Amino acid sequence: MNFELTEEQKMIRDAARDFAQRDLISDVIERDYKAAYPTKHIVELSALGFMGMMVDPKYEGGGMDTVSYILAMEEISKVDASVSVIMSVNNSLVCYGIQKYGTEEQKQKYLPDLATGRKIGAFLLSEPEAGSDATMQRTMADDKGDHYVLNGTKNWITNANSASVYLVIAQTHPEKKHHGINVFIVDKDTPGISLGPHEDKMGMRSSDTHSVMFTDVKVPKENRIGEDGFGFKFAMKTLEAGRIGIAAQALGLASGALERSIQYAKERKAFGTEIANHQAIAFKIADMAVKVENARNLCLKAAWLKDQGKPFAIASSMAKQYCADIAMEVTTEAVQIHGGYGYVKEYHVERLMREAKLTQIYEGTSEIQKIVISRNLLRD
Amino acid sequence: MKILICISNVPDTTTKIRFVNDNTAFDTNGVQWIINPWDELALTRALELKEGSSGAIEKVSVISVGPQSSEPTLRKALAIGADDAIRVNAEPKDAFAVAQQLAEAIKDEGYDLIISGIESSDYNGAAVGGMLAEFLGIASVSSVSGINFESGGFQVKREIDGGSEMVAAQTPFVAIIQKGVAIVPRIPSMRGIMQARTKPLKVVESSATDNLTEFVDYELPPAKAACKMVDPENMKELVNLLHTEAKVL
């Protein structure tokens, strides 16, 4: 066993922390209020190399391991989960999916722009009637010989407006059910693509979320990833890796709330002493710290397994479910510790609490994670 | 042209300071070490100058006096963008010894501009830069708040009483910088962090130095007194407290 991070991993964590605590914090409350996309920050994050951390350097990526990515995600998410979800979708769904399953031509064409943030990617799986049950894809991809034609609607798409490259999951052979699903790389400026209005969300308000409509959108055959019918497996395998990133995001929300609570408890006085000296508060902080530590260990283990090339599906589901659930608990306790100040925006913790809620829902709800975990344990 | 930045390895500014050995030594247990904030700004500015010099400034190097445990700080400087690093393998005892060690290590290296932070954030000695210039027998310019590189030479801005002045300095010289040379320190990029692994970090053995000072006792500042609230109606008491307790009137 070795719990020690490498010198590089520490430097990456510190770089992410410095960026978040210095740059992102400056306008995070205003962007949340106005639901404003963090254009300037994404440009800066791209220049620092955070948009394609795990992409092979031959495609202009950082060539980092998943552990480094987790460390960066935690630090960014302590301050701004809107920015970290933009980063997460680009890194661990779009770049990862193309790098792992794309052809050499697809990698050369798309990865350099995505890994450097010159272009942003989006992952289009959810539909109005296909969320947790991703087998029920209604978006159709009709095979026309040398190209496909896409028709349908995708929902809740992170980066829908800011992205230039879409990974779209769609049904080609309905009779084959989920074995008939395909996945395509689609340039957003292809004729026939339109966006619904910006979703007015409870949290992560500074990331742009829209529905996306496809009307007779022509996609060249060479833009399909994998064999005919590979799309559902692609989506599941990619999400398996992607949810480690969201687990780390939830971890960051929790550890950020814990850090703020510790600081506040040492400063705020009640009944003649700092509230940290009241056992009711001290024990809350102890409980929060144990949860954060457990969450971090689950995240790092899932990332380590992936880096070692070992199976990580159960570990990533455990990390996602646990981190998301404790993020909700820890951020709620943080608001309680802050009292009235916790309920106003200036002290950040109410925002962390609103953002934590989404981590229990997207990239596989906590309930879906329990299905994955239990099925793996109970199958004969 | 070659620029050298002298780097101090200092405790993070949020470190809780404790002492050991009967208050004669700083307790380094659990301390997070960082690049001295002034040195980090100096490095940031040096890299900006190099990038804007169309190749005229060919190299930015960093140097530090410290044990092996200080190497992560030099690696971070390499990750930020320095081309190479030198570590003088010695405990940085006091400003005189550090300046002596630095001078010995770089006297034959031909640096055109040597930059030192005005002070380190731990001991605040504010002496190394001037001493280093003296040991090297070259000029030094202090209180530098800006450095430009134009027409093949360096111009430095100095803060003076009531304003500032620009000085064109002949190389080689030591610039002792304060805040202002750069606004925010550069954050290392992923590419920089990966490249830092393979950039040269040379270890130079310690030379003989004169041991002129030793620490005999450390003392923490007195704890902050409790805040006293005064009734806004009672101005007399406020004036009395400012006069007799705070002694500001």
Q: How far is A335 from chain B (nearest CA, A)?
A: 25
Q: Indicate whether B121 pLDDT > 90.
A: no
The parent domain of residue B194 ranges over 2-221
β-strands B163-169, B153-160 pairing: antiparallel
The pLDDT value recorded for residue A281 is 98
Instruction: Name the residue facing A63 among B72, B188, B194 (closest C-beta).
Output: B194
Residue B143 lies in a domain: yes
Q: What is the pLDDT of residues B72-99, one digit of tens each?
A: 999 999 999 999 999 999 988 888 999 9
Query: Looking up tokens 């010894």, which residue turns up?
Result: B97
d(CA B97, CA B180): 28
The tokens describing A230, both together, are 């590979």
Contact assignment for B190 to A57 by CB distance below 8 Å: no
Residue B74, judged by CB atoms within 10 A of its CB (0-12, 13-18, 19+), counts as buried
Residue A140 parent element (H or E): strand A140-143
Contact assignment for A12 to B193 by CB distance below 8 Å: yes
Main-chain phi, psi angles of A132, to 5 degrees: -60, -35
The pLDDT value recorded for residue A295 is 98
Contact assignment for A49 to B196 by CB distance below 8 Å: no
Residue B33 lies in a domain: yes
Q: Number of structural domains, chain B? A: 1
Contact assignment for A49 to B191 by CB distance below 8 Å: yes
Kindly state the average pLDDT of the residues B241-247: 87
Q: Indicate whether B211 pLDDT > 80.
A: no
> Cβ of A308: how many Cβ atoms within 10 Å?
11
Residue B235 lies in a domain: no
Q: Both ends of chain B: CA-CA distance in Å?
A: 55
Q: Where exactly does CATH 2.40.110.10 map onto chain A?
A: 122-228
Query: Looking up tokens 């010099």, which residue turns up?
Result: B53
d(CA A113, CA B68): 40
Disruptive mutation site among A6, A9, A12, A14 for chain B (greatest number of B CBs within 10 Å) = A14
Residue B230 lies in a domain: no
For residue B189, give the chain A residue with the closest CA: A48
Instruction: Name the residue facing B187 among A18, A57, A62 (closest C-beta).
Output: A18
Residue B37 lies in a domain: yes
Residues of chain B contacting residue A53, judged by C-beta atoms under 8 Å apart: 190
The pLDDT value recorded for residue B25 is 85
d(CA B50, CA B2): 9
Any idea what the CATH number is for the domain that residue B112 is in? 3.40.50.620
The pLDDT value recorded for residue B245 is 84
3-state secondary structure (DSSP) of residue B100:
helix
β-strands A209-220, A193-195 pairing: antiparallel
Q: How far is B60 from chain A (nearest CA, A)?
A: 20
Predicted structure pTM score:
0.91
Q: Both ends of chain A: CA-CA distance in Å?
A: 31
Residue B234 lies in a domain: no
The pLDDT value recorded for residue B217 is 87
Residue A155 parent element (H or E): strand A147-158
Which residues, given as ranges, of chain A have pLDDT below 50? Answer: none
The pLDDT value recorded for residue B26 is 85
d(CA A75, CA A72): 5
The pLDDT value recorded for residue A2 is 87
Kindly state the average pLDDT of the residues B147-164: 92
| Structural contact between residues B147 and B154, judged by C-beta atoms closer than 8 angstroms | yes
β-strands A165-171, A121-124 pairing: parallel
d(CA A50, CA A72): 8
Q: How far is A194 from chain B (nearest CA, A)?
A: 35
Question: Smallest Cα–Cα separation from A166: which of A94, A220, A60, A224?
Answer: A94
Fold of domain A233-378: Butyryl-CoA Dehydrogenase, subunit A; domain 3 (1.20.140)
The pLDDT value recorded for residue B80 is 98
Fold of domain A7-120: Butyryl-Coa Dehydrogenase, subunit A; domain 1 (1.10.540)
Q: How confident is the model at residue B219 (pLDDT cuts 50, 70, 90)?
A: confident
The pLDDT value recorded for residue B206 is 87
Residue B97 lies in a domain: yes
Q: Where exactly does CATH 1.10.540.10 map onto chain A?
A: 7-120
The CATH code belonging to domain A122-228 is: 2.40.110.10
Disruptive mutation site among A48, A53, A68, A266 for chain B (greatest number of B CBs within 10 Å) = A48
Q: What is the pLDDT of residues B5-39, one digit of tens each?
A: 999 999 988 888 888 888 888 888 888 899 999 99
Residue B175 lies in a domain: yes
Q: Indicate whether B169 pLDDT > 90.
A: no
The pLDDT value recorded for residue B69 is 93
β-strands B201-205, B84-89 pairing: parallel
Residues of chain A contacting residue B35, judged by C-beta atoms under 8 Å apart: none
The pLDDT value recorded for residue A216 is 98
